[in-house]
Structure 1
Amino acid sequence: MTTPPVPSAPPFGRALCAMVTPFTAEGALDLDGAQRLAGRLVTGGCDGLVLSGTTGESPTTTDAEKSALVRAVREAVGAGVSILAGIGTADTLHSVELARAAEKAGADALLAVAPYYSRPPQDAIEAHFRELADASSLPLALYDIPGRTGVRIEPETMIRLAGHPRIVAVKDCAYDLMGTQKVLSRTDLAFYTGCDEYVLALYALGGAGYISTVANVIPRHFRSVIDTFDAGDTAEAARLQQRALPLTELMTASGLPGAVTAKALLGRLDLPSGPVRAPLRPAERRTTDQLLTAYEELTA
């Protein structure tokens, strides 16, 4: 009987947070708040932080703000925490510029969505990601979120891209477990779920971990899900995953973007957040009250 191979360590750790971008009350970038929030998340068990992603309101932050955010968070958390910089735009050349700027600012890796709005075919999407991977020396994670971009990174495209030495991971928000398993079975790509309700499910299928929006407020809880699973107590891991469902549903499936709900709850907890930028609008008081109640019930 042969011993199965030991899986390689995930490239960015297992527990990552898709961090909000804190703003001041006037709407300016709050670098002090970003540093304080990043420190809390790392203390709460996060191995890495994703900056300027969907939850980080990347469409409404400037290129200079994105670089400043990476530099500030790197200063706050030190060298032992993975920082992934979101560089995805609808413009390949712009994304290339952001990749180079993120590397210069101190990011460890890049995260990029498929080009949105123009809906390019799969060969163009593949070429886009290859150009981004060649633009710097940093590893690249593909971000598959067709609900926002309007286009899939199809499994066969991922399988081809896995041959590139710097394309190492996927943030999976496609809600396609069949396709995910196909890529997992045929490549070494590290899959991180970006859907909090799938943290345990994808991890149990061989995923690397998660990039969580809800972890902005409960970083320790989802870390405990995967730690408990690793310890062999699958029933308790399932209980912990299900226990987080009410808050997860309110934050990610209530019809409001995660940036809105995460900032609303962080604000009520007196943690760095600030307003969202237009066209997003702040959550109503009733929604924020519901979020706080779910949070208190989970953490009681």
Structure 2
Amino acid sequence: MHPPLFGGVNAAILTALKPDLSPDLDRMAAHARWLLANGCNGLGMLGTTGEANSLGLFERKAVLEGLIARGIPAAKLMPGTGCSNLSDTVELTLHARAQGCRGVLVLPPFYYKAPSDDGLFAYFSEVVNRVGGGIALYLYHFPQQSAVPFTLDLIGRLLKAFPGAIQGVKDSSGDYANMKAMVDAFAADGFEVYSGSDEYLQRILADGGAGCITAASNANSHWGGIVYAKRTGAEADAAQAMLTATRKAATSVPLISGLREIIARSTGDDGWRTIRPPHLPLNAAQGDAIWAAWDAAGALPLPGLTQAKAAE
């Protein structure tokens, strides 16, 4: 069985923005380089944390092309390509394949609520057939956000109908029992299960999962890298405790805004606070609170971040 394509720690990377709210590719690429040098094996870009659904189709393509043009290896990137319609999903997936990406993360069609498994099977059948192979599809299970879950039965049907096309899943439900059920049902056949929650990294690796794709990895990837490398023992346990503490700190305020605040304060770069509406930057009290929470966890200063930015 081949090793997982994105095995390890993958940051759901923030999308840097300019004052006019257009993507800031230089700032984002610098952050990507730091992540890949500090514990990340790959980058899940243009997902929830990357505000993909606040960006237009042309902008999403430009962000992917811009990172690659700035030296971020396409093989390290897993762009989100799932949209609420079939045509855009296929177009973004084909674009990612053309840029040399090995896999994409695909939301279900999320506008219409409570679709049947038959309806979702028909949708993903169209995606697979229209894409035609050459790039791995990863399902994005985030029912709290999309309101459209992937059931075990649906995953099993897709794997049977399209062997080799559906490579894995990111489970952001926060329900470890569901993650474990996916591992137990499908991992033996090479299906890659990634936790979307930092607190489960050590556990899912022990149970046969592939790793994680998480928002907090934007700032805690140093410790995620230790967990992935060591797996067990005192050092791994301490690093996992740090992942759990920083995840709790990150979710104590609006998550995307909070991570932007941590990066902004760590680098001295106020531009990281820029965010697209309807999201808003943190207010001063919220910013002080999340900074204090990360500090209390012992996670500050972020290893190598200030120095890395100063050297740009």
Question: Cα deviations across residues 44-76 of structure 1 (Å, max 9, x unaligned)?
Answer: 121111111000001111111111111122233
Deviation, structure 1 residue 227? 1.5
- 2:282 is aligned to 283
- The CA RMSD measured in Å over matched residues stands at 2.0
Structure 2: segments with no counterpart, 5+ residues: 302-312
Secondary structure at 2:299 match in 1: helix
- 1:47 is aligned to 41
- 1:213 is aligned to 215
Q: Share of identical aligned residues, percent?
A: 25
> Are 1:109 and 1:138, in contact at CA under 8 Å, matched by a contact in 2?
yes
Partner Cα separation in structure 2 for residue 45 and residue 245 of structure 1: 16
Structure 1: segments with no counterpart, 5+ residues: 1-6
User: Alignment partner for residue 197 of structure 2, among 195, 198, 213?
Assistant: 195
Secondary structure at 1:10 match in 2: coil
1:48-197 equivalence runs, <5 A: 48-79=42-73, 81-119=75-113, 120-136=115-131, 137-163=134-160, 164=162, 165-187=164-186, 188-197=190-199
Question: Cα deviations across residues 222-260 of structure 1 (Å, max 9, x unaligned)?
Answer: 11122121xx42x442332223333211213x251x321
> Are 2:68 and 2:74, in contact at CA under 8 Å, matched by a contact in 1?
no
Secondary structure at 1:178 match in 2: helix
Question: Cα deviations across residues 71-118 of structure 1 (Å, max 9, x unaligned)?
Answer: 122233444742111111111222112212222334321111122130
Partner Cα separation in structure 2 for residue 22 and residue 33 of structure 1: 6
Worse-superposed segment, 67-76 or 180-189: 180-189
Matched, 1:239 2:246: no
> Are 2:220 and 2:299, in contact at CA under 8 Å, matched by a contact in 1?
no
Partner Cα separation in structure 2 for residue 290 and residue 90 of structure 1: 36
Question: Cα deviations across residues 169-198 of structure 1 (Å, max 9, x unaligned)?
Answer: 100112333333333223231001111222
Deviation, structure 1 residue 36? 0.7
Q: State the TM-score, normalizing by the size of structure 2.
A: 0.86
Count of matched residue pairs: 289
Partner Cα separation in structure 2 for residue 161 and residue 236 of structure 1: 39
Q: 1:72 to 1:106 in 2, by over 3 A?
A: farther
Partner Cα separation in structure 2 for residue 153 and residue 259 of structure 1: 24
> Are 1:70 and 1:107, in contact at CA under 8 Å, matched by a contact in 2?
no
Partner Cα separation in structure 2 for residue 175 and residue 219 of structure 1: 19
Secondary structure at 1:298 match in 2: coil
- 2:224 is aligned to 222
Partner Cα separation in structure 2 for residue 159 and residue 176 of structure 1: 19
Letter in 1 for 2:17: F
Letter in 2 for 1:30: D
- 2:19 is aligned to 25
Partner Cα separation in structure 1 for residue 183 and residue 246 of structure 2: 29
Secondary structure at 1:135 match in 2: helix
Partner Cα separation in structure 1 for residue 241 and residue 86 of structure 2: 40
Partner Cα separation in structure 2 for residue 274 and residue 103 of structure 1: 31
Secondary structure at 1:168 match in 2: strand
Partner Cα separation in structure 2 for residue 283 and residue 240 of structure 1: 28
- 1:292 is aligned to 291
Partner Cα separation in structure 2 for residue 27 and residue 221 of structure 1: 31
Letter in 1 for 2:57: D
